Structure 1
Amino acid sequence: MRSDDFDLFAQEVKGITPLEKEEIYLGKKGPGVDFAARKLAAMHAEQEDRNHLSKDYVERVDPNDMLEYKRDGVQDGVFKRLRQGKYGVEARLDLHRHTVEQARRQVFQFVADCMHHDIRVGIVVHGKGDRSPENQATLKSYINKWLRDLDDVMAFHSAQRHHGGLGAVYVLFRKSEAARLENWERHQKR
């Protein structure tokens, strides 16, 4: 730094007083720290962050593509009955006219609600997407990705025509612990 620069700097900062340092308390309650408010804010942020479904890039599917997915451990006979629509549909989610963000929240909440109420089979109506600009099947593409990303979804398959055909999917949910125990007890009595 040249002496002219130093003199100019000194002249500019003349009369400025340094800020007082505040003590920082780590792990202890300090003055002015509201831990209850922090805890509440953290819990609220955690709830909002629970939804890990991404609305970023998704591999596009065609409006006329059949969607199907089965996790390891799902019996072929169970998947076949799901595909044929032979299980009673206990819950329904209709996503027509929803944005991607609205659908993302709705799908996440739908799966959580189904698990909470021990629902085994639901249906998600997403539409084919053949009326959208350039036949993009946007929601259908996201549903195909999101359902695979949710651990509670064991399998899904495009629905039978009377349930919405290629514009809907049957969803098989994981059994809850209570349902597993009940099933085990029922088979033990035989």
Structure 2
Amino acid sequence: MMDEDETSLFAQEVAGIKPLEKSEVYLGKKGPMVDFAARQKAALIAKEADRNHLSQDYVEKVEPNDVLEYKRSGVQDGVFKRLRQGKYGIEARLDLHRHTVAQAREHVYQFTDDCMRHDIRVAIIVHGKGDRTPDPDSQAMIKSHINKWLRELDAVMAFHSAQRHHGGLGAVYVLFKKTEKARLDDWEKHQKR
């Protein structure tokens, strides 16, 4: 039992509290109405965002005038040489000028996905050299991230800085692996010969 001091203290603490309206009280299983469509949409958006595995953390910095090059094992030297020389037709282009690193990350991931869905073998990504940035520590940030991200993408077989007429050190040629559909098409072409 509470004594008089406790009762008056309690009364002081609860003074000014209004009871909830009946429509605001939810007891038991009759909880508030849940908008499952909104929840499902939010879950799908979160799942889509989670698909992008490109790292956002530390990146090894490259200089504005560095040449970017990478070749997975299994890519023939002649194929890489033709890529490096810009002798393949460019089927798609992504321009990342005036983008933040976060925006570039999203665009590169989506661009790669689009290229694979449309059986694109060779593309170019224009990242800029980043040499006009006043802060020397933030120069070539997009270029540095491109160098890292393209290595992380399974669909990328090789990449190399572009020839001068395609953007030079401010762009990179990207060779994507063949899709299963493209492999079958090639196989059928060679069978008909």
Name the TM-score class by shorter chain: 0.7 to 0.9
User: What corresponds to 1:146 in structure 2?
Assistant: 149
User: What corresponds to 1:3 in structure 2?
Assistant: none
Comparing 37-46 with 54-63, greater Cα deviation is found at: 37-46
Q: Aligned pair count?
A: 181
Deviation by residue 1:35-58 (Cα, 9 ceiling, x = unmatched): 444333222211122112122210
How far, CA to CA, are the matches of 2:51 and 2:28 in structure 1? 35
How far, CA to CA, are the matches of 2:166 and 2:121 in structure 1? 17
User: What corresponds to 2:185 in structure 1?
Assistant: 182
User: Partner of 1:108: helix, strand, or coil?
Assistant: helix
How far, CA to CA, are the matches of 2:119 and 2:43 in structure 1? 29
The alignment yields a C-alpha RMSD, in angstroms, of 2.9
Q: State whether structure 2 residue 179 is matched by structure 1 residue 173.
A: no
* Structure 1: 4+ residue segments shifted above 6 A: 11-14
Give structure 1 stretches of 5+ with no counterpart: 1-6, 15-19, 24-29
Q: State whether structure 2 residue 128 is matched by structure 1 residue 108.
A: no
User: Partner of 2:57: helix, strand, or coil?
Assistant: coil
Give 1 or 2 for the bigger CA radius of gyration: 2
1:49-64 matched pairs, under 5 angstroms = 49-64=50-65
Offset, 1:68: 0.4
Shift in alpha-carbon separation, 1:130–1:176, aligned structure 2, 3 A: same
Give structure 2 stretches of 5+ with no counterpart: 1-5, 15-25
How far, CA to CA, are the matches of 2:189 and 2:54 in structure 1? 36
User: Partner of 1:89: helix, strand, or coil?
Assistant: coil
Offset, 1:21: 7.9
Offset, 1:106: 1.1
Code of the residue aligned with 2:168 in structure 1: it is G
Offset, 1:189: 2.1
Code of the residue aligned with 1:69 in structure 2: it is Y
